[in-house]
């Protein structure tokens, strides 16, 4: 096991549009303080913001967990439902089930999940309809 | 192109970040869809948008966008400007439409963000 430098859990409430992004902003500040490379930092920030928005827009509430070890930053999102019935469809750019409120704020264009995958070094998603979704993303600190 | 030159070309009012007008922009992006901005934007970019809400500033923060220009004569409220000041983000407002503002900057040599990289 690698040495864990930071492990922090951020709760994210369903439908909390006003505060959406606060966890990601806090994560960005922490990683900046640690001296994480600016390119890696931006990729983590984009993926973090996307996954946090997904928790706000689509889930019934969940958590975003940040773990940092000397090799990588890991972001893990877990929610308590409703789950994604068809992950392949959800991973398609442009496919979205976001509501009007999310769209009026400039989100819900169906770019979130593919954009997370593109920015992360490793991306795993598991979901069960009626149970919940978990997403784990790794970002290597050497940028690979 | 510096933010000062951008402000002049767009006849824009600088609302925050007066002290950062010598910062160089390398590319620009014009969009009201923050989802797309999150998928396309790269380094040292300015964002021209007609969408006015706090998430524009939050999106800019996540991407290290160096300046937000609100187009079509839209003026952000004090809450949004305060959020921008907190993260040292220069904000401008222009009466031009997004299309015209982008065209003006492109014409004077500021390119767009490149095509989205492949997965």
pLDDT tens-digit series, residues A69-117 = 999 999 999 999 899 999 999 999 999 999 999 999 999 889 999 999 9
User: A111, B117: Cβ pair inside 8 Å?
Assistant: no
pLDDT of residue A99: 92
Is the confidence at residue B117, as pLDDT, over 70?
no
Which candidate from B58, B117, B119 shows the least CB-CB separation from A25?
Answer: B58
In this structure, is residue B46 part of a structural domain? yes
Q: Spell out which residues of chain A touch residue B34, defining contact as CB-CB under 8 Å.
A: 105-107
In this structure, is residue B115 part of a structural domain? no
pLDDT of residue A113: 95
Strand partners, B39: none
ipTM value for the complex: 0.90
On whether the CB atoms of residues B92 and B12 are closer than 8 A, the answer is: yes
> What average pLDDT does the segment B47-64 reach?
96
In this structure, is residue B67 part of a structural domain? yes
Residues of A engaging B, defined by a Cβ cutoff of 8 Å: 18, 20-21, 24-25, 28, 38, 42, 45-46, 48-50, 105-112, 114-115, 117-118
The residue range of the domain holding B29 is: 3-107
Among B residues 59-118, those touching chain A with beta carbons less than 8 Å apart: 59, 61-64, 117
Number of domains in chain B: 1
Q: Residue A66: count other Cβ atoms within 10 Å of its Cβ.
A: 21
Residue A133 DSSP SS3? strand
On whether the CB atoms of residues B46 and B66 are closer than 8 A, the answer is: yes
Residue A93 Ramachandran class (φ > 0 left, ψ -120 to 50 alpha, else beta):
beta
pLDDT of residue A27: 97
- Identify the CATH number of the domain defined by range A6-140: 3.30.565.10
pLDDT > 70 in chain B, percent: 96
Q: Which structure tokens are listed for A104?
A: 């009026």
> What average pLDDT does the segment A26-40 reach?
95
In this structure, is residue B66 part of a structural domain? yes
On whether the CB atoms of residues A129 and A82 are closer than 8 A, the answer is: yes
User: B55, A106: Cβ pair inside 8 Å?
Assistant: yes
Which candidate from B38, B55, B59 shows the least CB-CB separation from A115?
Answer: B38
> What average pLDDT does the segment B91-117 reach?
91
B56 touching A, CB under 8 A? yes
In this structure, is residue B119 part of a structural domain? no
In this structure, is residue B116 part of a structural domain? no
Query: Which CA distances in Å does A27 have to A6, A13, A34, A73?
Result: 10, 17, 11, 10
pLDDT of residue B119: 45
Is the confidence at residue B114, as pLDDT, over 80?
no
pLDDT of residue B42: 78
Is the confidence at residue B116, as pLDDT, over 70?
no
The CATH number of whichever domain residue B59 belongs to comes to 3.40.1390.20
* Domain residue spans of chain A: 6-140
């Amino acid at each position: 096991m690698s040495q864990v430098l930071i492990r922090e859990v951020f709760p994210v409430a369903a439908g909390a549009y006003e505060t959406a992004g606060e966890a990601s902003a806090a994560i960005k500040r922490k990683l900046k303080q640690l001296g994480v490379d600016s390119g890696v930092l931006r990729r983590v920030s984009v993926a973090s913001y996307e996954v946090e928005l997904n928790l706000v827009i689509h889930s019934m509430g969940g958590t975003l967990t940040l773990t940092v070890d000397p090799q990588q930053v890991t972001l893990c999102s877990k929610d308590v439902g409703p789950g994604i019935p068809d992950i392949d469809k959800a991973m398609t750019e442009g496919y979205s089930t976001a509501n009007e409120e999310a769209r009026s704020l400039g989100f819900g264009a169906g770019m979130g999940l593919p954009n997370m995958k593109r920015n992360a070094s490793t991306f795993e998603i598991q979901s069960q309809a009626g149970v919940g979704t978990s997403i784990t993303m790794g970002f290597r600190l050497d940028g690979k | 192109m510096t933010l000062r030159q951008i402000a002049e070309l767009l006849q824009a009012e600088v609302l925050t970040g007066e002290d950062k007008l010598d910062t160089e922009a390398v590319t620009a992006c014009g969009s009201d869809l923050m989802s797309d901005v999150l998928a396309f934007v790269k380094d040292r970019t300015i964002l021209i948008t007609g969408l006015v809400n706090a998430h524009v500033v939050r999106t800019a923060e996540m991407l290290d966008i160096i300046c937000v220009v609100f187009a079509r004569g839209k003026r952000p409220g004090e809450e949004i400007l305060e959020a921008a000041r907190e993260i040292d983000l220069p904000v401008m407002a222009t009466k031009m439409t997004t299309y015209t503002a982008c065209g003006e900057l492109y014409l004077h040599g500021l390119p767009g963000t490149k095509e989205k990289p492949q997965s």
